[in-house]
Amino acid sequence: MKKIGIIGAMQVEIDLLIARMETYENSTVAGFPFYTGTLFGKDIVLTRCGVGKVNSAACTQILIDRFNVDCIINTGIAGSLRKEIGILDLVISSDVTHHDVRKAQMKNLFPYQESFIANNRMIVLAQKACETLEVKPNYHFGRIVSGECFVSDTRLKETIINEYSPACVEMEGSAIGHVAFLNNIPFLILRCISDQADDEAAMSYENFEKLAANQSAAVVLEMIKMM
């Protein structure tokens, strides 16, 4: 990969990555900050897209058009949707989709995709990164779903599980995968679990937000090192 794009929704999700960049220049496009420089000698464009699918879609298209990235990694935190996926576990995306868009609409309207498939080479690289870290995190593979709400309701959680059988839920990944698909750009969504997406999610999120964000970023750093 010649130039690697990295997206985090919030500042806490990219702070560790900024701190590790050898050099960077900061620019702003449409209100999004872009840090262009090097990480382990690789050309990197790091950005913060803000929360939500509209923000992440707009930011991803700018990352592709203006900065000509060859692949995209989305790093951040999420709520677990499987009993076996615990707090601070990693989820490596197999595919992504919108949990707040009907399946029929996804299938029958442009771009005629029920989900967007993550790049297999990047999936393997993320697994190797998890295995290489000194303190190896628990990691899982599976579908990641996104919607324009923070899921902190057990009934909504069960509805999403029954409809999509996902590993975790967040608010940006499916839009990033959607835009990457439209542009034929390889992508991977990587998430570390901060909460269980249930009635206790808000409290858990506050306690584990930074730890989870840094855990995901640590895996991204290892991936870049091995690229």
3-state SS of 145-172 is: EECCCCCCCHHHHHHHHHHHCCCEEECC
Tell me the pLDDT tens digit for each residue of 143-181: 999 998 877 778 888 999 999 999 999 999 999 999 999
What is the pLDDT, as a whole number, of residue 198?
65
Place of tokens 């900061």: 26
What is the pLDDT, as a whole number, of residue 202?
60
Closest CA to 100 of 48, 50, 54, 138: 54
Question: Taking the complete model, does pTM exceed 0.85, yes or no?
Answer: yes
Tell me the pLDDT tens digit for each residue of 74-131: 999 999 999 999 999 999 999 999 999 999 999 999 999 999 999 999 999 999 999 9
* Distant-in-sequence, close-in-space partners of 69: CB < 8 Å, separation ≥ 6: 3, 4, 5, 45, 63, 185
Query: Could you give the residue numbers annotated as active site?
Result: 13, 195
Query: How many CB atoms lie under 10 A from the CB of residue 56?
Result: 30
Which sequence spans correspond to the domains of the chain? 3-226
Whether domain 3-226 has CATH 3.40.50.1820: the reply is no
Mean pLDDT of 39-46: 97
